[in-house]
Amino acid sequence: MDITRRSLGAAAAAASALFALPALSQGFQQHPLIIAHRGASGERPESTLAAFRLAIAEGADFIEPDLEMTKDGHMVVRHENEISLTTDVASRAEFASRKTTKSVQGKSVTGWFTEDFTLAELKTIRCRERLPQLRPASAKFDGQEQIPTYQEVIDLAKSESARLNRPIGTYPELKHASHFAALGLAMEGPLADILKKNGLDSATAPVFVQCFDVEPLKTFKTLSKAPRIQLVSPLGGPSDAKTTYQDMVSAAGMKTISTYATGVGPDWSMVIPTVDGGLGAATPLVGDAHAAGLAVHPWTVRAENAFLPPKLRRGAAPSDFGDVDAVYRALYAAGVDGLFSDFPGLAVKART
Protein backbone atom coordinates (compact mmCIF):
# COMPACT_ATOMS: atom_id res chain seq x y z
CA MET A 1 0.00 0.00 0.00
CA ASP A 2 1.39 3.40 -1.00
CA ILE A 3 1.36 6.02 1.75
CA THR A 4 1.39 9.61 0.58
CA ARG A 5 3.26 12.39 2.32
CA ARG A 6 -0.08 14.03 3.00
CA SER A 7 -1.47 10.97 4.82
CA LEU A 8 1.73 10.60 6.85
CA GLY A 9 1.52 14.24 7.82
CA ALA A 10 -2.10 13.81 8.90
CA ALA A 11 -1.14 10.81 11.01
CA ALA A 12 1.67 12.76 12.66
CA ALA A 13 -0.70 15.62 13.43
CA ALA A 14 -3.23 13.23 14.92
CA ALA A 15 -0.51 11.63 17.01
CA SER A 16 0.61 14.97 18.36
CA ALA A 17 -2.97 15.82 19.27
CA LEU A 18 -3.64 12.58 21.11
CA PHE A 19 -0.37 12.40 23.00
CA ALA A 20 -0.16 16.11 23.68
CA LEU A 21 1.48 17.03 26.90
CA PRO A 22 0.78 19.16 29.17
CA ALA A 23 -1.54 16.57 30.65
CA LEU A 24 1.33 14.28 31.52
CA SER A 25 0.36 13.92 35.17
CA GLN A 26 -3.31 13.60 34.24
CA GLY A 27 -2.91 10.46 32.19
CA PHE A 28 -2.75 11.92 28.66
CA GLN A 29 -6.19 10.63 27.70
CA GLN A 30 -9.11 8.63 29.02
CA HIS A 31 -7.13 5.44 29.45
CA PRO A 32 -3.49 4.46 30.07
CA LEU A 33 -1.10 3.94 27.17
CA ILE A 34 -0.19 0.40 26.19
CA ILE A 35 3.53 0.17 25.42
CA ALA A 36 4.58 -2.97 23.57
CA HIS A 37 7.80 -4.09 25.26
CA ARG A 38 10.21 -4.92 22.42
CA GLY A 39 7.03 -5.42 20.38
CA ALA A 40 4.67 -8.32 21.08
CA SER A 41 7.73 -10.05 22.48
CA GLY A 42 5.77 -12.82 24.17
CA GLU A 43 4.58 -13.99 20.76
CA ARG A 44 7.35 -13.17 18.27
CA PRO A 45 11.15 -12.90 18.60
CA GLU A 46 11.73 -9.64 20.42
CA SER A 47 12.73 -6.37 18.80
CA THR A 48 11.87 -7.45 15.27
CA LEU A 49 9.57 -5.74 12.79
CA ALA A 50 7.31 -8.80 13.06
CA ALA A 51 7.00 -8.28 16.82
CA PHE A 52 6.31 -4.57 16.39
CA ARG A 53 3.78 -5.19 13.60
CA LEU A 54 1.87 -7.73 15.71
CA ALA A 55 1.85 -5.36 18.69
CA ILE A 56 0.27 -2.66 16.56
CA ALA A 57 -2.33 -5.11 15.27
CA GLU A 58 -3.16 -5.98 18.88
CA GLY A 59 -3.83 -2.33 19.70
CA ALA A 60 -0.58 -1.06 21.25
CA ASP A 61 -0.26 2.72 21.43
CA PHE A 62 3.55 2.66 21.48
CA ILE A 63 6.18 0.18 20.34
CA GLU A 64 9.43 0.04 22.29
CA PRO A 65 12.82 -0.38 20.57
CA ASP A 66 16.04 -0.62 22.62
CA LEU A 67 18.84 1.16 20.78
CA GLU A 68 22.43 0.04 20.28
CA MET A 69 25.14 1.42 17.99
CA THR A 70 26.92 -0.21 15.07
CA LYS A 71 30.58 0.20 14.14
CA ASP A 72 29.60 2.65 11.41
CA GLY A 73 27.32 4.77 13.59
CA HIS A 74 23.84 3.40 12.88
CA MET A 75 21.19 2.92 15.57
CA VAL A 76 19.94 -0.66 15.59
CA VAL A 77 17.29 -2.32 17.71
CA ARG A 78 18.57 -4.90 20.23
CA HIS A 79 18.06 -5.19 23.97
CA GLU A 80 21.78 -5.79 24.49
CA ASN A 81 24.82 -4.87 22.45
CA GLU A 82 25.88 -8.52 22.90
CA ILE A 83 23.66 -10.27 20.36
CA SER A 84 24.24 -14.02 20.69
CA LEU A 85 21.10 -14.59 22.81
CA THR A 86 18.74 -13.10 20.24
CA THR A 87 20.39 -13.89 16.88
CA ASP A 88 22.14 -16.73 15.06
CA VAL A 89 25.50 -14.93 15.09
CA ALA A 90 27.20 -17.70 17.10
CA SER A 91 26.53 -20.18 14.29
CA ARG A 92 27.89 -17.94 11.55
CA ALA A 93 31.37 -19.11 10.62
CA GLU A 94 32.22 -15.84 8.91
CA PHE A 95 31.87 -14.02 12.22
CA ALA A 96 33.56 -16.55 14.52
CA SER A 97 36.59 -14.31 14.97
CA ARG A 98 34.40 -11.47 16.25
CA LYS A 99 33.70 -13.28 19.53
CA THR A 100 35.40 -11.41 22.35
CA THR A 101 35.21 -10.46 25.99
CA LYS A 102 34.86 -6.84 27.01
CA SER A 103 33.71 -4.70 29.90
CA VAL A 104 30.30 -3.16 29.34
CA GLN A 105 29.49 -0.55 31.98
CA GLY A 106 31.40 -2.41 34.65
CA LYS A 107 30.38 -5.95 33.71
CA SER A 108 32.53 -8.53 31.92
CA VAL A 109 30.60 -9.87 28.92
CA THR A 110 31.65 -12.46 26.33
CA GLY A 111 30.06 -12.69 22.90
CA TRP A 112 29.45 -10.70 19.75
CA PHE A 113 28.79 -6.96 20.00
CA THR A 114 26.91 -4.57 17.73
CA GLU A 115 29.77 -2.06 17.84
CA ASP A 116 32.06 -4.60 16.15
CA PHE A 117 29.80 -4.91 13.09
CA THR A 118 28.77 -2.59 10.29
CA LEU A 119 25.06 -2.25 9.61
CA ALA A 120 25.47 -4.21 6.37
CA GLU A 121 27.04 -7.10 8.29
CA LEU A 122 24.32 -7.09 10.94
CA LYS A 123 21.68 -7.24 8.22
CA THR A 124 22.99 -10.69 7.21
CA ILE A 125 22.28 -12.05 10.70
CA ARG A 126 18.86 -13.44 11.63
CA CYS A 127 16.92 -13.03 14.86
CA ARG A 128 15.67 -15.72 17.21
CA GLU A 129 13.64 -16.10 20.40
CA ARG A 130 15.52 -15.26 23.60
CA LEU A 131 13.47 -17.67 25.78
CA PRO A 132 12.67 -20.66 23.53
CA GLN A 133 11.81 -23.06 26.36
CA LEU A 134 9.38 -20.59 27.88
CA ARG A 135 8.04 -19.32 24.55
CA PRO A 136 8.23 -22.19 22.03
CA ALA A 137 5.46 -20.74 19.85
CA SER A 138 7.55 -17.61 19.33
CA ALA A 139 10.65 -19.71 18.60
CA LYS A 140 8.87 -21.12 15.53
CA PHE A 141 9.58 -17.75 13.90
CA ASP A 142 13.35 -18.00 14.41
CA GLY A 143 15.44 -17.05 11.39
CA GLN A 144 12.75 -15.02 9.63
CA GLU A 145 13.67 -11.47 10.63
CA GLN A 146 16.64 -9.12 10.32
CA ILE A 147 17.85 -6.75 13.02
CA PRO A 148 15.97 -3.51 12.29
CA THR A 149 17.26 0.01 12.50
CA TYR A 150 15.43 2.60 14.56
CA GLN A 151 14.55 4.40 11.33
CA GLU A 152 12.80 1.26 10.10
CA VAL A 153 10.77 1.14 13.33
CA ILE A 154 9.76 4.79 12.92
CA ASP A 155 8.80 4.10 9.31
CA LEU A 156 6.62 1.19 10.43
CA ALA A 157 4.91 3.31 13.10
CA LYS A 158 4.24 6.08 10.59
CA SER A 159 2.87 3.81 7.87
CA GLU A 160 0.66 1.89 10.31
CA SER A 161 -0.58 5.15 11.83
CA ALA A 162 -1.69 6.25 8.39
CA ARG A 163 -3.17 2.87 7.45
CA LEU A 164 -5.11 2.42 10.69
CA ASN A 165 -5.94 6.11 11.14
CA ARG A 166 -4.73 6.11 14.72
CA PRO A 167 -1.49 7.42 16.22
CA ILE A 168 1.25 4.92 17.00
CA GLY A 169 4.35 6.14 18.79
CA THR A 170 7.83 4.79 19.40
CA TYR A 171 9.48 4.55 22.82
CA PRO A 172 13.26 4.21 22.27
CA GLU A 173 15.66 3.37 25.10
CA LEU A 174 19.23 4.62 25.15
CA LYS A 175 21.16 1.48 26.09
CA HIS A 176 24.77 1.42 27.31
CA ALA A 177 25.16 5.11 26.56
CA SER A 178 28.40 5.59 28.50
CA HIS A 179 29.89 2.46 26.90
CA PHE A 180 29.24 3.78 23.41
CA ALA A 181 30.39 7.28 24.29
CA ALA A 182 33.76 5.85 25.33
CA LEU A 183 34.00 4.24 21.89
CA GLY A 184 33.32 7.53 20.11
CA LEU A 185 29.75 6.46 19.35
CA ALA A 186 27.77 8.78 21.59
CA MET A 187 24.05 8.10 21.19
CA GLU A 188 22.29 11.28 22.24
CA GLY A 189 23.17 13.36 19.17
CA PRO A 190 22.30 10.70 16.57
CA LEU A 191 18.97 10.02 18.29
CA ALA A 192 18.11 13.73 18.38
CA ASP A 193 19.01 13.95 14.68
CA ILE A 194 16.73 11.02 13.79
CA LEU A 195 13.82 12.56 15.68
CA LYS A 196 14.35 15.92 13.96
CA LYS A 197 14.55 14.22 10.56
CA ASN A 198 11.21 12.55 11.23
CA GLY A 199 9.36 15.55 12.62
CA LEU A 200 9.46 14.23 16.19
CA ASP A 201 11.42 17.00 17.88
CA SER A 202 8.65 18.45 20.01
CA ALA A 203 7.10 18.06 23.45
CA THR A 204 3.91 16.74 21.82
CA ALA A 205 5.58 14.24 19.49
CA PRO A 206 4.46 10.59 19.77
CA VAL A 207 7.80 9.50 21.22
CA PHE A 208 9.32 8.94 24.65
CA VAL A 209 13.08 8.62 25.15
CA GLN A 210 14.00 6.45 28.14
CA CYS A 211 17.17 5.58 30.01
CA PHE A 212 18.24 4.05 33.34
CA ASP A 213 21.09 6.55 33.63
CA VAL A 214 20.72 10.24 34.35
CA GLU A 215 23.32 12.09 32.28
CA PRO A 216 22.12 10.84 28.86
CA LEU A 217 18.65 12.22 29.60
CA LYS A 218 20.09 15.53 30.77
CA THR A 219 22.22 15.75 27.63
CA PHE A 220 19.31 14.74 25.42
CA LYS A 221 17.17 17.50 26.94
CA THR A 222 19.64 20.05 25.50
CA LEU A 223 19.35 18.49 22.04
CA SER A 224 15.65 17.71 21.64
CA LYS A 225 12.23 18.72 22.97
CA ALA A 226 10.97 15.13 22.89
CA PRO A 227 9.60 13.73 26.18
CA ARG A 228 12.06 11.86 28.41
CA ILE A 229 11.50 9.02 30.91
CA GLN A 230 13.80 8.18 33.82
CA LEU A 231 13.79 4.41 34.29
CA VAL A 232 14.18 3.05 37.81
CA SER A 233 14.57 -0.39 39.34
CA PRO A 234 13.90 -1.84 42.80
CA LEU A 235 17.64 -2.38 43.35
CA GLY A 236 20.79 -0.41 42.59
CA GLY A 237 21.04 3.01 41.04
CA PRO A 238 22.21 4.85 37.92
CA SER A 239 25.79 4.09 36.88
CA ASP A 240 26.45 7.81 36.51
CA ALA A 241 24.94 9.26 39.70
CA LYS A 242 25.63 8.84 43.41
CA THR A 243 22.10 7.87 44.39
CA THR A 244 19.82 4.85 44.47
CA TYR A 245 16.69 4.27 42.46
CA GLN A 246 14.72 4.00 45.69
CA ASP A 247 15.87 7.48 46.70
CA MET A 248 15.03 8.76 43.24
CA VAL A 249 11.37 7.75 43.59
CA SER A 250 10.89 9.41 46.96
CA ALA A 251 8.73 12.53 46.94
CA ALA A 252 11.87 14.70 46.98
CA GLY A 253 13.58 12.54 44.37
CA MET A 254 10.64 12.90 42.00
CA LYS A 255 11.04 16.67 42.10
CA THR A 256 14.67 16.25 41.04
CA ILE A 257 13.71 13.94 38.18
CA SER A 258 11.19 16.53 36.99
CA THR A 259 14.03 18.98 36.29
CA TYR A 260 15.27 16.88 33.36
CA ALA A 261 12.57 14.29 32.57
CA THR A 262 8.84 14.28 31.90
CA GLY A 263 8.08 10.89 33.42
CA VAL A 264 9.35 7.94 35.41
CA GLY A 265 9.39 4.26 34.44
CA PRO A 266 9.49 1.95 37.47
CA ASP A 267 9.47 -1.81 37.69
CA TRP A 268 5.77 -2.59 38.17
CA SER A 269 6.48 -4.11 41.58
CA MET A 270 7.45 -0.64 42.78
CA VAL A 271 3.83 0.40 42.19
CA ILE A 272 2.07 -2.82 43.23
CA PRO A 273 4.34 -4.86 45.52
CA THR A 274 4.08 -8.58 46.16
CA VAL A 275 2.80 -9.22 49.69
CA ASP A 276 2.40 -12.75 51.11
CA GLY A 277 2.68 -14.19 47.60
CA GLY A 278 -0.04 -11.97 46.15
CA LEU A 279 -0.62 -8.37 45.16
CA GLY A 280 -0.38 -5.79 47.90
CA ALA A 281 -1.77 -2.28 48.15
CA ALA A 282 -0.38 0.39 45.84
CA THR A 283 2.66 2.31 47.05
CA PRO A 284 2.79 6.14 47.07
CA LEU A 285 4.92 6.16 43.90
CA VAL A 286 2.20 7.17 41.43
CA GLY A 287 0.87 9.94 43.66
CA ASP A 288 4.35 11.30 44.37
CA ALA A 289 5.22 11.27 40.67
CA HIS A 290 2.00 13.01 39.66
CA ALA A 291 2.54 15.63 42.37
CA ALA A 292 5.89 16.39 40.72
CA GLY A 293 4.26 16.60 37.28
CA LEU A 294 5.66 13.28 36.09
CA ALA A 295 3.92 10.54 34.13
CA VAL A 296 4.28 6.94 35.36
CA HIS A 297 4.85 4.06 32.92
CA PRO A 298 5.68 0.82 34.80
CA TRP A 299 7.54 -2.08 33.18
CA THR A 300 7.16 -5.00 32.30
CA VAL A 301 4.01 -7.07 32.73
CA ARG A 302 4.40 -10.63 31.45
CA ALA A 303 1.71 -13.30 31.39
CA GLU A 304 3.68 -16.45 32.21
CA ASN A 305 3.77 -18.00 35.68
CA ALA A 306 7.55 -17.52 35.72
CA PHE A 307 7.04 -13.77 36.03
CA LEU A 308 4.01 -13.60 38.34
CA PRO A 309 3.62 -13.71 42.14
CA PRO A 310 2.89 -17.21 43.48
CA LYS A 311 -0.81 -16.61 44.19
CA LEU A 312 -1.41 -15.50 40.60
CA ARG A 313 0.10 -18.59 38.98
CA ARG A 314 -2.20 -21.00 37.17
CA GLY A 315 -1.20 -24.47 35.97
CA ALA A 316 2.02 -26.30 36.71
CA ALA A 317 4.47 -25.08 34.07
CA PRO A 318 6.47 -21.83 34.23
CA SER A 319 5.26 -21.15 30.68
CA ASP A 320 1.56 -21.45 31.59
CA PHE A 321 -0.33 -18.17 31.72
CA GLY A 322 -1.31 -16.99 35.17
CA ASP A 323 -3.80 -14.37 36.30
CA VAL A 324 -2.00 -11.51 34.61
CA ASP A 325 -5.26 -9.56 34.39
CA ALA A 326 -5.02 -9.02 38.15
CA VAL A 327 -1.73 -7.17 37.61
CA TYR A 328 -3.15 -5.03 34.82
CA ARG A 329 -6.24 -4.15 36.87
CA ALA A 330 -4.17 -3.24 39.94
CA LEU A 331 -1.85 -0.98 37.94
CA TYR A 332 -4.74 0.74 36.17
CA ALA A 333 -6.50 1.26 39.51
CA ALA A 334 -3.30 2.78 40.93
CA GLY A 335 -3.53 5.53 38.31
CA VAL A 336 -0.59 4.73 36.04
CA ASP A 337 -0.41 6.67 32.78
CA GLY A 338 0.74 3.68 30.77
CA LEU A 339 2.43 0.32 31.14
CA PHE A 340 4.83 -1.96 29.31
CA SER A 341 3.74 -5.48 28.37
CA ASP A 342 5.18 -8.40 26.41
CA PHE A 343 1.56 -9.21 25.52
CA PRO A 344 0.02 -5.89 24.45
CA GLY A 345 -3.19 -7.56 23.30
CA LEU A 346 -3.87 -8.79 26.83
CA ALA A 347 -3.11 -5.34 28.25
CA VAL A 348 -5.52 -3.73 25.79
CA LYS A 349 -8.23 -6.25 26.64
CA ALA A 350 -7.81 -5.67 30.38
CA ARG A 351 -7.86 -1.90 29.87
CA THR A 352 -11.12 -2.16 27.94
DSSP state at residue 307: G
Cα(70)–Cα(180) distance, rounded to whole angstroms?
10
Asked about 74 being catalytic, the answer comes back as: no
- Burial (0-12, 13-18, 19+ Cβ within 10 Å), 165: exposed
Catalytic residue among 74, 79, 179, 297: 79
Asked about 79 being catalytic, the answer comes back as: yes
The beta-carbon contacts of 270-275 under 8 Å, at least 24 apart in sequence, are: 270/232, 270/234, 270/298, 271/296, 271/298, 271/331, 271/334, 271/336, 272/327, 272/330, 272/331, 272/334, 274/309
**Contact present, 310 and 287 (Cβ < 8 Å):** no
Helix (H, G, I), strand (E, B) or coil at 124: coil
- Give the residue from 95, 78, 76, 94 showing the smallest Cα distance to 86: 78
28 Cβ partners below 8 Å, 6+ apart?
18, 19, 20, 21, 295, 337, 338
Residue numbers annotated as active site: 37, 79
